[in-house]
Structure 1
Amino acid sequence: MVDATAFYQAAVDNGIDLICGVPDSLLKDLSAALHENAAKDQHVVVPNEGAGIALGTGHYLATGHTPLVYMQNSGLGNAVNPLVSLTSQDVYQIPLVLLIGWRGQPGKDDEPQHRLQGRVTIPLLETLEIPSRLLPSDTAAAAKCLGESVATAKARSGPVAIVVQRGTFDASSGTDIVTNGYELSREDALLAVVGSLDSRDAVVVTTGKASREIYEHRQSLGPIGPKQEFLSVGSMGHASQIALGVALGQPDRRVFCLDGDGALIMHMGSLALIGSSAPLQFVHVVLNNGCHESVGGQATVGFEIGIPEIAMACGYSASASVSNVTDLTNSLQGFREIEGPCLLEVRVSATARKDLGRPQEPPSAGRDDFMEFLRL
């Protein structure tokens, strides 16, 4: 396995003085090493993968140094536009190294949302005319691979990619990076929200552990009726727009979006569209733990910005921030008495149960159940 700290040192030795990206579970041990060793201006967790490409481009323009941008392969979709219209050899010819975690790799078991992306990762890089190679699982060979990739990026004046398979980095660096002082767990907050729902309320849940926690709660109840929750097992950052689509399609139904801080920040422009669309029965609950907890605990800027204030500036009719169940319940009750859209930030701890399960049914079954509920 590759020693993550040694890999970071190899990056420094090859003249890389900016490493930025969106955290990925396959790269969480590298993220831990970066957190421990890199200065703040040398390692930046960006809101989305396209922003990482753009940040790396600016760094190259300012310094002439090749940056490294890391991401999960699912983030390639966010990165395609700047890769082809900014950094490519046909445009500004920006040398940079992509480090891509390969979820859904063919032949390896993975969740449904990763399977297609896993199959198309290498073909997509070929279509984008980005040379790629697999990162070796030996530390010395991995360092050599990184050095050769930097040289290739410089020689071709364009991006190159290193694809990382599951289990490549040594887990000895540790994982959880961020803790905070909040006692309320996300799961307890979610259960409080679900407990406040009326039978016709529709719920769209963001990807990651929030959806898994809601799924387990639903399973514990048994077959008691139509499922009023749509679990976004993939498409990070888009749950609020799915919820907005539901709200605009059925304006007489109250719609809840259960979001996360990392997901919200990834596509923050969605707040402006929700505010300007003014769905009167839209409730946006942002579970803010200040980190990407599902993939290792790397910090977001969730605690450094005013999410309720941003929502109000975007046209939401009301917002609040809470950190306990009593205030959460009271705020949701108050939102029922006014026209939306409303946003509730719930500050929660950066923890989750170790035995948290995953949905066992195919996502299409969840789609059918939710659509059946919406017909009622």
Structure 2
Amino acid sequence: MLAPSDYLRVLGDAGVTFFTGVPDSLLKEFCACVTMSLKPEDHVIAANEGASVGLAIGHYIGTGSLPLVYLQNSGLGNTVNPLLSLASPEVYGTPMLLMLGWRGEPGKKDEPQHVHQGRVMVKMLEDMDLPVVVLSDDIAEAEAQTKAAAQQARDINGPVALVVKKGTFDKFAAPKAEADLPMGREEAIMAAAETLEDNAAVICTTGMPSRELFEFRARNEAGHHRDFLTVGGMGHSSQIALGLAMAQTDRPVYCFDGDGAALMHMGSMAITGQSGAKNLIHLVFNNGVHGSVGGQPTVGFDIDMPTIATACGYATAQRVTTKEDLQSAIAAARATDGVTFIEVQVRPGNRADIGRPTSTPAQNKIAMMKFLGVE
């Protein structure tokens, strides 16, 4: 395995001077090392992977130095446009290294949302004319690969991809994020879910929130037919919820969102706010971190989400931190004529023994559509 600090030194020796990206579970030890080791001006955790490419381009044209963009391969789609229409040697020609965590690697057991992406990732990169290097877990070989990749990026005036398999990086000791708040996210999700109408539909964001909601329903033998667990597609739950709310205007629809997901495609809040939907309540469970992939910080606690929601056109928007205030806010939102927004600030972290959904995504979709009266 590679010691993250050793490999960070390798990248520095190869001429990398700027790091940006969206954290990934396979890269979490490396990401923690970068966060702890670098100055803020040398490292930016971006809203989404495409924005990371933009930051990398800006750094290069301002310094002439090589940037690195890190991401989970599920975020590759967000990078395609800026990579091909901006960074490509056929357009602006911007040298950079991409570091991709290889979720869904063929032959390795992984979650359903990663299998297709993992199978086609290398071919996608090759079809984009990006040189691909599978990073070794031996530091001497990784150093040689990285120096060669950095030089190739400069030679071709474009991006080169470093693909990282599971288990490549060793552990890195980093302090856990903390926040002095009364509720954890799981408690808040339970508090919200237990107040919902029998005919309400829930669109829940990817990662830990969906797992926590699934376990809550299982413990209460309540079934899972009312919940669409958005296991992939980070940042898109709010628009799935809006689409459903517009399709079934007499049904209450709730979006259980996260701060990282909301930030990733924050422009969607403007569309939701201007939609005219009257049956949608958008809750963002904000713990200030990318909790499902290693706990790297977001800017969730640094911005005023309710003010943003109000500016986007939500009928009401508020922030809560306690169970009582959360349940009161949901009750008030139901009585509001228009789409509403509730930010629920919660402590970072989750149970170590949290399970995963036992139904497949296809089964989840079919069960919900039957509940909605579509099938």
Structure-2-length-normalised TM-score? 0.98
Which residue does 1:214 correspond to in 2? 213
Instruction: State how far apart, in whole Å, the 2-side matches of 1:275 and 1:175 are.
Output: 39
Is 1:174 aligned with 2:173? yes
Give the drift of 1:183: 2.9
Name the residue aligned to 2:332. Answer: 334
Give the distance between the partners of 1:46 and 1:20, measured in 2 at CA.
6
Report deviation, 1:314. Answer: 0.3
Matches within 5 A, 1:1-376: 1-171=1-171, 173-174=172-173, 177-222=176-221, 224=222, 227-375=225-373
Alignment-mate amino acid for residue 275 of structure 1 = G
Residue 17 of structure 1: SS of its match in structure 2?
Answer: strand
Equivalent-residue separation in structure 2 for 1:216 and 1:139 (angstroms): 41
8 Å Cα contact 1:226-1:373 kept in structure 2: no
**Aligned partner of residue 196 in structure 1, secondary structure:** coil
- Distance change (3 Å), C-alpha of 1:79 and 1:226: closer
Question: Which one-letter code corresponds to 1:251 in the other structure?
Answer: T
> Which amino acid in 2 is paired with 1:112?
P
User: Do the aligned residues in 2 keep the contact of 1:175 with 1:296 (CA within 8 Å)?
Assistant: no
Larger mean Cα displacement after TM superposition, 174-183 or 277-286: 174-183
Deviation of the 1:299 alpha carbon = 0.4
Does structure 2 conserve the Cα–Cα contact (< 8 Å) formed by 1:226 and 1:372?
no
CA contact (8 A) 1:208 1:294 kept: yes
Task: Write the distance in 1 (CA, Å) between the matches of 2:176 and 2:168.
Answer: 20
Q: For residues 131-153 of structure 1, what are the alpha-carbon distances to aligned partners after superposition, in whole Å with 9 as ceiling and x for unaligned?
A: 00110001222122211111000
Residue 221 of structure 1: CA displacement? 2.3
Distance 1:226 1:19 in 2: 40
Q: 1:198-234, CA deviations, whole angstroms, 9 ceiling, x for partnerless residues?
A: 1111110000000000111111122x56721111011
Q: Which amino acid aligns with 1:334?
A: A
On the 8 A contact 2:33/2:174 being kept in 1, the answer is no
Which amino acid counterpart does residue 256 of structure 1 have in structure 2?
Y
Please say which of residues 335-344 and 283-292 is displaced more in the overlay.
335-344
* 8 Å CA contact retained: 2:224, 2:364: no
Question: Counterparts of 1:260 and 1:143 in 2: how far apart (Å)?
Answer: 37
Change (3 A) 1:225 1:16: closer
Q: Which residue type is aligned with residue 105 of structure 1?
A: E
State the distance in 2 between where 1:177 and 1:11 align.
Answer: 25
Unaligned 5+ residue runs, structure 1?
none
Letter in 1 for 2:114: H
Amino acid at match of 2:255: C
Give the secondary-structure state (helix, strand or coil) at the position aligned to 1:70: strand
Listed as ranges, the gaps of 5+ residues in structure 2 are none
Q: Is the 8 A contact 1:176 1:296 kept in 2?
A: no
Q: Deviations over 1:13-50 (max 9, x none)?
A: 22211010000000000011112211111111000000
The 2-side partners of 1:181 and 1:296 are apart by 20
In the TM superposition, residue 175 of structure 1 has moved relative to its aligned partner by 5.4
1: CA distance between counterparts of 2:38 and 2:10? 13
Q: Go from structure 1 to structure 2 and tell me whether the alpha carbon gap of 1:27 and 1:53 turns closer, same or farther (over 3 Å shift).
A: same
SS of residue matched to 1:71: strand
Q: TM-score, normalised by structure 1?
A: 0.98
- Aligned-pair CA distance for 1:178: 2.1
Q: How many residues align?
A: 374
Partners of 1:176 and 1:244 in 2: CA distance: 38
**Aligned mates of 1:187, 1:20 — CA distance in 2:** 29
Q: CA–CA distance in 2 between the matches of 1:147 and 1:230?
A: 45
Q: Distance in 2 between matches of 1:182 and 1:14?
A: 43
